[in-house]
Structure 1
């Protein structure tokens, strides 16, 4: 019998065995013969796929365990602050990233195999907002090393780099070409997605670490020479981002005044200079930037006033011109169209962002390629000629006979970004970017490091993660230490030894002169028993979990205030409404804690020999909840079979 479609969304029917395994197996003989295998349980920490999929490398499983109340904070620290500290160890912007990150962690979540991913972004936003509301600060920075690093660019990568470097003891000076810090957070994403008070609070928390100087409206390469940096600073971190948008590679684009890039369009809006847009806007893209462009255009509307000062391109192309506020008051709705080479399913923009844009009145034409910008007698664009297309070997192929013209008063290209290396030509790799090795060092330039979009345009979280690696590399360079080899799974891992120390359960010192050359122990207090940390090398897949343990648990969806097409004009309120504490806790309980014990007691309950037992309460902590009496263990592997998280492996012994 086929399960109805709606029932699969509410009552998952995961089965332990596949079709064809209908024969009942008697385990009795196997259980009492397995002692000949000499394999007993060991406890293996692996990286969960959410964390392995996170470009900034957050210990997602760790802070979800704290939110769900399973991992306990130290005395005197609330669970909210403890979870914030764990989350911000890798990413100092939880409130921002909880709102705008496209969440590759959720795509990787093993719970997708059961029903629906854990709402990681929603819980992260809750932690970030709670931290701001309660005034949580980062742990005090260590004493200064005497070294100072120049950071060129105050966007996500630059700020994350300053955060990580200051925590390593190094002072920093940020050179920022604009009047404010934040980069794409401030100038590339609308305020209704990134509230400016939230942005300012998370930036200020980094600056509050101290010894992070900021020099605004200073462009290195023009206002300051690179050679001067080498004289003044001990190292340089290039995080200049990609603030130059790519134009459409079609006839009629170049030099046409009302053809602008998506980056410039959004910067003019976010600086508060552009108050209205054109009556008919066509944006070519398909990624998150293009969605922001069309959503902003629908909110701004157009002005019926004529004259050069009312044209949106006059504001976009000139960094000093601004619209009169009276234009916004008289604005009328704009007709906005988004075209994409790819089908809607293949567009890189987040699915819910595409849905919201459509609800707000944007027309989306997918599987369409631009052919030519049509010009009027005055040299301005009057329309964009397009045609249907198919993607073949990654390239669009025109479908003959489908050509048509989309009337347009403003055409926006949001097909990618590049760096502005004016004055920095020596760093240009010939493609408008800066080369980097695996440790984010600039090749053949000792003391110069690079991170963020200027290496390869990607996600905000990618820039933040690269800045962490670059900061580690800079620290090694400044200490004249050998650059350490990065782990295969290069993220922030749970460290059992650090947890034991935090809980006052640190192993006692081992003195070979007193205890002899012992190669193994099951009871010595100087060792962490039957535990192996493979998190730096392995990501645990769903096939290692006992999925039948988990019941259906619907995801807590954040509420959104998305305006309709009729109400979108002038609507600049924040769209996402965060979870409550109760909702955040319950959402965190949906985490399956892949690769780490979450204290379910299955192994204790099902062990036929009573060999698996709970660790004494006084010695218990995360990762040390159960242990094995190897004198009783017969190697039956039932504990491993019923472990929901895949933490138990039959690996100890011959």
Structure 2
């Protein structure tokens, strides 16, 4: 009986375009002795890590969760995974929830069935660390240098963390009442639980010698000159805290506000309900999704004599009480986007959730004018269908229509506020940087995060790690090192061997041709992880069967239940689910101990390293006396870890 198309699970392409015949392994064996090539085990970076702005060793901590890479005897799998992950990113619980996960877009498993749920496993690691109160290793002795970090958001906190791990003390200046930046003041609590965020912030501060000066703005409360006198280096991590107004006539109306203003009002508790039933948000990115989702949850009130102006509630001029908020009902919330839904920059599941919660999305349209009444207040937003001239959106003539609105929120981008710091302003409201995150022409000044160019929270976290490295060289009066081409936190085989007491013996200095018998080298291993990202074309994808993802359960409210619903909508994976999802990782560019090379070698030349000498990345080796160079081991290696490269 023929298999139905619904039951067929095609998991890989057997041939490349243009191939017509399958290669014969038998012919390869008979011709093998002409190649003079033997296997080399080559470590490359997988595209998930190459796509991660924080540079996490994603494959590494997935290997730990799945049980391939073993922790030291005194440490649990969970803590070992936590330590590997936080070597790059000190916010696993937060980022596991809100990062749009470019790593998942880059995942080679997309060529088989579907990407690995990387940030769901990251959330599991972060939440487990919270529940079991994992701590960082004790920080090294102080260098005697102290760095000023201006801004306590994800970038500034990351810089403080990585500097302290290099022995440098710091002082964080922030003009808010709490640390956390946009994680605290830009993202609603039902997406970032504040207990998790505060715990991860405190865990960084617990390293010691990281001072904090809150409600202090450098440039107004403290002069730039005083900071330069007190500290050995300065990191600018001020972020982009001002929203962009709509670039259309009428956008200066008092009831036209920015998404940043709206979300800060909500996250600081200044606004608990709205008094309007017609809200329009212009955007299409993650911030705009947060705006409309919050607006749907806040709902509207119909009590008399509260205020005629919804922006007064946003700016905190109106008090709330429980009786008032109890009277709320659902507001009419509309999101407009230049792009079609499938091309919006917001995460796909966030768009889906907003629609489920009752948000109306008008896509492929653009604002052309704010409609004003005789008092100068907005009563609607004139829109038109949109077409693009290159990258420039243009309204389609004759397609104009008006969306009624009592509150218009612009979420089309953010800018910096460099008041009092004009000498750093590049003329566009941002700060310039070189490739080492130094401010050009300002010795000892470094800059990270959105104030360079608005991007992701995890991008700022990655900037903090790289800048800490540059600052470390600066404080030691060393020239910055050339950054690796693939700038991530790479798996270190020598470090792994040292962890288990298996490091190579000291080199005697003798010139020896070949290293297969030498105890001073790791047998036929090459590390190209700092230069190369492994493509799916190097993998033997036929090894991997179709395995569905283990999805986090969502408890998102529908349109009828959304008002007043502020509970977290995503339930994390259980430990068994996290382990099974981690097992879907194809370990691109690193051995995951499948034994294919050992089983299929026709000469028994490939063998397992004795268990007492084995470690991650050092599971198999080759007997050159037996190897004929047939390259079958390289053909059947699922992870692309084997190259036929040893020889002449």
TM-score normalised by the chain length of structure 1: 0.97
Displacement of 1:526 in angstroms is: 1.1
Note the 1:254-653 alignment, pairs <5 A: 254=252, 256-277=253-274, 278-307=276-305, 309=307, 311-317=309-315, 322-512=319-509, 516-653=510-647
**Distance verdict in 2 for CA 1:384–1:622, change over 3 Å:** same
**Partners of 1:448 and 1:107 in 2: CA distance:** 34
Report what 1:150 is aligned to: 148
SS at match of 1:143: coil
**Partners of 2:483 and 2:3 in 1: CA distance:** 47
Report what 2:238 is aligned to: 240
Deviations, residues 94-121 of structure 1 (Å, cap 9, x unaligned) = 0000000000000000000010000001
Displacement of 1:141 in angstroms is: 0.7
SS at match of 1:412: strand
Displacement of 1:378 in angstroms is: 2.3
SS at match of 2:465: helix
**Partners of 1:601 and 1:648 in 2: CA distance:** 13
Note the 1:140-289 alignment, pairs <5 A: 140-254=138-252, 256-277=253-274, 278-289=276-287
Displacement of 1:311 in angstroms is: 3.7
**RMSD between aligned alpha carbons?**
1.6
**Partners of 2:508 and 2:513 in 1: CA distance:** 13
Assess if the C-alpha contact under 8 Å between 2:255 and 2:378 holds in 1: yes
**Partners of 1:312 and 1:412 in 2: CA distance:** 11
Deviations, residues 520-562 of structure 1 (Å, cap 9, x unaligned) = 3211111112000001111001000000001111100100111
SS at match of 1:548: helix
Assess if the C-alpha contact under 8 Å between 1:342 and 1:391 holds in 2: no
Deviations, residues 47-82 of structure 1 (Å, cap 9, x unaligned) = 000000000000000000000000000011000000
**More displaced 10-residue stretch of structure 1: 606-615 or 297-306:** 297-306
Assess if the C-alpha contact under 8 Å between 1:241 and 1:452 holds in 2: yes
**Partners of 2:65 and 2:25 in 1: CA distance:** 39
Report what 2:119 is aligned to: 121
**Distance verdict in 2 for CA 1:387–1:599, change over 3 Å:** same
**Partners of 1:13 and 1:527 in 2: CA distance:** 39
The answer as to 2:72 corresponding to 1:62 is no
Deviations, residues 558-589 of structure 1 (Å, cap 9, x unaligned) = 00111000000000000110000000000000
SS at match of 1:373: strand
Structure 1 residue runs of 5 or longer lacking an equivalent are: none
Q: How many residues align?
A: 647
Assess if the C-alpha contact under 8 Å between 1:39 and 1:653 holds in 2: yes
**Partners of 1:184 and 1:310 in 2: CA distance:** 30
**Partners of 1:238 and 1:252 in 2: CA distance:** 35
SS at match of 2:450: coil
SS at match of 2:451: coil
SS at match of 2:449: coil
TM-score normalised by the chain length of structure 2: 0.98
Deviations, residues 325-354 of structure 1 (Å, cap 9, x unaligned) = 443221121000000011111110001100
Displacement of 1:596 in angstroms is: 0.2
Displacement of 1:391 in angstroms is: 2.0
**Partners of 1:24 and 1:96 in 2: CA distance:** 47
SS at match of 1:32: helix
**Partners of 1:20 and 1:14 in 2: CA distance:** 16
Displacement of 1:12 in angstroms is: 2.1
Deviations, residues 481-527 of structure 1 (Å, cap 9, x unaligned) = 11000000000000100000001101111232xxx233532111111
**Distance verdict in 2 for CA 1:268–1:4, change over 3 Å:** farther
Displacement of 1:374 in angstroms is: 1.0
**Partners of 1:211 and 1:223 in 2: CA distance:** 23
Report what 2:110 is aligned to: 112
**Partners of 1:28 and 1:362 in 2: CA distance:** 61
Assess if the C-alpha contact under 8 Å between 2:45 and 2:490 holds in 1: yes
Structure 2 residue runs of 5 or longer lacking an equivalent are: none
Deviations, residues 213-240 of structure 1 (Å, cap 9, x unaligned) = 1101000000000010110000000000
The answer as to 2:128 corresponding to 1:130 is yes
